[in-house]
Amino acid sequence: MTDPMERLRAENEALRNEIAHLKRRIAHLERRAASPRRGAEEGLADESYFLRRLKEAVYSAERYARFLCVVMIDLPNEDRAEGDGDRVLEAASRFAGIFRKTDLVALFDSDRVYVLLEETETSQGIEALKRVQDEIGAILAPRYSMACYPNDAQRDADLLQLLEDRISKVCLFNAGGPAVNLGEEVLSLLN
């Protein structure tokens, strides 16, 4: 049998940890509530605008037989701690300055960055990510997932779901450097 005092200490420690976690979460949510248009000053789109533009871009690509790519950028966990929205915002604004002016860069509430690359084929998207990675160098080591229309999916919701599925494989791959998942395999961008 375990000592009742020992059990009480363990429960007390677990409650302290939970309270500390909840306090950090509350502070994070309060900062977000104070700035509902987070990232607008840096030229970043918000989630709802990005989703509307993605839907329009897929419709346009279908109508005019064009390509488009959607990229999800995820910062490694060591770079993105709970409540570390300022660092994510800084990284997102940096990405917005590196991609083409016609590309739409958005910061989602989940602290992930999404990029809409219209009139871009898969190989062109990979080249864009390599250029971006060359620009940011060792400062950031983001992970990427990419889904392209019409090769991967024909609907905007399916493209977004593919991005989610593929980013989890990139995280499992744990390349130790920037990597992208195109569907077939996880590729290191350092090659």
Q: Looking at the structure, do residues 84 and 141 belong to the same domain, yes or no? A: yes
Q: Looking at the structure, do residues 111 and 143 belong to the same domain, yes or no? A: yes
How confident is the model over 139-153, as a mean pLDDT?
84
Q: Looking at the structure, do residues 69 and 132 belong to the same domain, yes or no? A: yes
Q: Looking at the structure, do residues 63 and 16 belong to the same domain, yes or no? A: no
Using one digit for the tens of pLDDT, what is the confidence trace for 66-97? 999 999 988 765 544 455 456 777 878 888 88
Beta strands in 2-142 (DSSP E): 68-74, 104-107, 113-118
Average the pLDDT over each of 15-29, 153-167, 172-186 and give the range with the smallest value: 172-186
Q: Looking at the structure, do residues 29 and 110 belong to the same domain, yes or no? A: no
C-alpha 50/C-alpha 8 separation (Å) is 49
Q: Looking at the structure, do residues 92 and 180 belong to the same domain, yes or no? A: yes
| Residue-level pLDDT at 36 | 46
Q: Looking at the structure, do residues 73 and 152 belong to the same domain, yes or no? A: yes
C-alpha 4/C-alpha 18 separation (Å) is 21
In terms of residue numbers, what domain contains 30?
1-34
Cβ proximity of 170 and 135 under 8 Å: no
Q: Looking at the structure, do residues 10 and 61 belong to the same domain, yes or no? A: no
Give pTM, 2 decimals.
0.72
Domain count, the chain: 2
Q: Looking at the structure, do residues 104 and 172 belong to the same domain, yes or no? A: yes
Q: Looking at the structure, do residues 64 and 149 belong to the same domain, yes or no? A: yes
**C-alpha closest to that of 108 among 99, 95, 126, 124:** 95
Q: Looking at the structure, do residues 115 and 178 belong to the same domain, yes or no? A: yes
| Residue-level pLDDT at 173 | 73
Q: Looking at the structure, do residues 17 and 95 belong to the same domain, yes or no? A: no
Neighbours of 15 (CB within 10 A): 10
Using one digit for the tens of pLDDT, what is the confidence trace for 163-187? 998 888 887 776 566 778 787 777 7
Q: What is the CATH number of the domain that holds 65?
A: 3.30.70.270
Please state, in angstroms and as integers, the Cα–Cα distance from residue 69 to each residue in 12, 55, 94, 187, following that order.
50, 12, 20, 17
